Amino acid sequence: MKRTNKEVLFKGVKFMAGALPLMFIGPSILYSAFNNREHPLYFAVLILGILSCGGAMFLIFKGINTIMKAIFDS
């Protein structure tokens, strides 16, 4: 009978925990950027928001992938 690799599972949970703040910060930054289009730092804030949303998506993918490896791989 196969057992779950707990070390790899906790690593995946850490990825998911890292994605959680980015899931809220990214859209907030994007909302702030779109409301202040005339501001001189508009593009910098917009890029920061896009990067944080992309980082959240990457960490979620990486976390789910790692959790699936811990559960189903031997």
- Residue 1 in any domain: the answer is no
For the chain, count helices (H), then strands (E). 2, 0
Q: What is the pLDDT of residues 16-25, one digit of tens each?
A: 999 999 999 9
pTM of the predicted protein model: 0.88
Sequence-ordered list of residues with C-beta below 8 angstroms from that of 12, at least 6 positions apart, any chain: 62, 63, 64, 65, 66, 67, 69, 70
- Distance CA(3)–CA(19), nearest Å, equals 27
Instruction: Tell me how many domains the chain contains.
Output: 1
| Maximum Cα–Cα distance across the chain | 62
Domain containing residue 46 = 6-72
3-state secondary structure of 9: helix
> Does residue 61 belong to any structural domain of this protein?
yes
pLDDT tens track for 40-62: 999 999 999 999 999 999 999 99
Q: Is 34 a member of any domain?
A: yes
